[in-house]
Structure 1
């Protein structure tokens, strides 16, 4: 069994206002193992950021305990805490003209002491953190001139320079474009699989959660907290219940669709590279895949100058189409009624 890098036991998180405690989430129990990626998922206002801030000790627990590598979070000194837990928040920074290298170097503060002088060993750690995040070419550039994706890589490099056991990220993909999101997912997977880092991040990207997470920490509308493998939570209907708001969850795509969407059955007769794209198009058309269905779609790749061709057969008729857009129009539920 993987050793627990982060253990949450009977914890309550929330705020203290006017001397009174206001609990947001209660009776929390969870484990995050070394080398695991956990995604914290819930609707806006469900308490995700409150939980992350409590785990980072930015605000105190209202009850229960949290342990980091077997040590009480509450009893760690600030220096010890910074060596165990690193945090990357959603808020945009106002870096001025600080170089990316200098920002990453801030991650060595728990080791350099009050003087802040970097030793050769510190500089080696900084270089390694920049390399791990593919940010070496950004090192001498002012942080304020970087794109959102580049800046996020630098901030994660700064966290890695702390050499933590646990990395907490609050919606790290919030300002990123599609390419940067994919690069972030690949980076976090590498950090867990190859470096043994325990990573917990909050996210609204359910498709990436279903694809990459080892564990999902799920908060539903009643602020009930559940953990488990994404497939187990999906199979039990908990993801649909927590996030769907009456929508239907499609486990094939990791997305939701409108309730009562037509589920016309379509069979796919073919393989090769076109299978995945054809499957996606048919699902987008509001259909489900069933190899015993009377509506059947087949395809041929086509010659060099001629693209692929799809054939839709149903009710004794057949139609040939030249692209997936037309295929969607042909198989949607109002056809072949």
Structure 2
């Protein structure tokens, strides 16, 4: 009988052997759980396109924070739905805005909780874009004005830091946003606050459920003039390199599932922590398939998150965080 030269199956024979030689591991303390906060009283409203994800008013937020802690999650990412929207997104940098209120509340309930503040204007503008709109009188074309938008993004970041945010996470994709926010934070005395930059954010179809959740769909046009073309990876390196030069502390790739190659490329090229955002559309596809009995939710979620880790993600932002953390604890 001819035998194989190598017996790869020897190290797969038992669960203990497989565990011993496992190359990649998921940990709950590497998850960040996104939360949507809103005005009102006694609001816990499920988002139709994101089963299991809710809008919370501040009086219902504490119970969710306690559940997050119980699951073993130590970090949350905040998005806010304001009472008032206008062309300049003034609620984003209001010292008493919904995100600022939520930050202060969470740090009061759970000082050890790491609070990440999404820094953008799209949820707060009446036009749904991530900056100020400029109308070109010659062509009649409206587009987001980069440099004037930076001023408001800096004001937003500083107000979030003043409220107690531990990390500023700018998601706007304006050119120079990291440098502007770093300078603004430093000038305001927040040299110790890191920036988790949405360095590589693609103009993706996977954001649909989030736009419903954050009520941030553009009211005209799209975001392709400032978010990245899904076809490009060299451009991702240029974007990330700019952010590193400007002072970013962490680099994010968004979305994650269709961009594993980009995660791997950034991991190989830069020595900063790499963050993968497992976005709303990725989450909702799994929930829909599991709800129809087509896949097993638990094993599919853990395999997907493991793939992101294997690609090079050090940190994963995911709406699956609470469930995944509990499943990992059960496996120990």
TM score, norm. by length of structure 1? 0.31
- Higher Cα radius of gyration: 1
More strand per residue: 1
More helix per residue: 2
TM score, norm. by length of structure 2? 0.32
